[in-house]
Structure 1
Amino acid sequence: MKISYVTLCIMLTVLLAKTELSMEITCNALQLSACANAIISSNPPSAICCSKLKEQKPCLCQYLKDPNLKKFVNSPNAIKVSDACGSPFPIC
């Protein structure tokens, strides 16, 4: 019984890992516009902002390389919004 349970757990882990890897992330900085109000005004971020921020989190290091986006993405308020959303800023 333990062997089949362990085997099942391993299979589920492999399937979930493959599913996670197969999802493509489309980096689109405009998706972060939902957070503009929270970043500019220091208001709490909306649920939509947090959702978009979590979707775009893998792209944040790429955005930091763009001089036009760096000011927006790397501002103290943007980092506060990221923390408030429970999605700490990645270390690039």
Structure 2
Amino acid sequence: MRSITYTSLYAAAILMMILAGSQTTMAVTCQVTQLAPCASAISSSSPPSSQCCAKIKEQKPCLCQYMKNPSLKAYVSSPNAKKVANACGVPIPKC
């Protein structure tokens, strides 16, 4: 009976290690269109939606790339964009 318990515990421990190891981190795809849910909050003084905040947090690694793009810089660096980012708890990076 004791060997069955140890075998069950051993099998459970291995299963947990396999499941923990199978979680992979997905790389962020930098596409400014992902920030579309934030357009109304950036263009007006309305508060950002939860979807907007989720997208800003997801796209955070891409913000410097967007700020260095001459076509996007004015949009991403605007005072309203900074307000939206701050409201979502995402600091504007120094690039």
What interval of TM-score do these two structures reach, taking the shorter chain for normalisation?
Answer: 0.7 to 0.9
How large is the RMSD of aligned CA atoms in angstroms? 1.7
SS at match of 1:58: helix
1:50, CA displacement in angstroms?
0.2
Structure 1 residue ranges (4+ consecutive) displaced by more than 3 angstroms after TM superposition: none
Pair 1:89 & 2:92 matched: yes
Query: So what's the TM-score if we normalise by structure 1?
Result: 0.74
Higher helix share: 1
Provide the aligned length of Structure 1 versus Structure 2. 75
Which structure's CA Rg is the greater one? 2
Runs of 5+ consecutive residues of structure 1 not aligned to the other structure? 1-14
Partner of 1:25: 28
Partner of 1:53: 56
Query: So what's the TM-score if we normalise by structure 2?
Result: 0.72
Work out the CA distance in 2 between the residues paired with 1:52 and 1:44: 14
Work out the CA distance in 2 between the residues paired with 1:64 and 1:32: 13
Runs of 5+ consecutive residues of structure 2 not aligned to the other structure? 1-19
Q: Equivalent of 2:37, from 34, 37, 56?
A: 34
Work out the CA distance in 2 between the residues paired with 1:87 and 1:25: 16
Identity of aligned residues (%): 59
SS at match of 2:90: coil
Partner of 2:79: 76
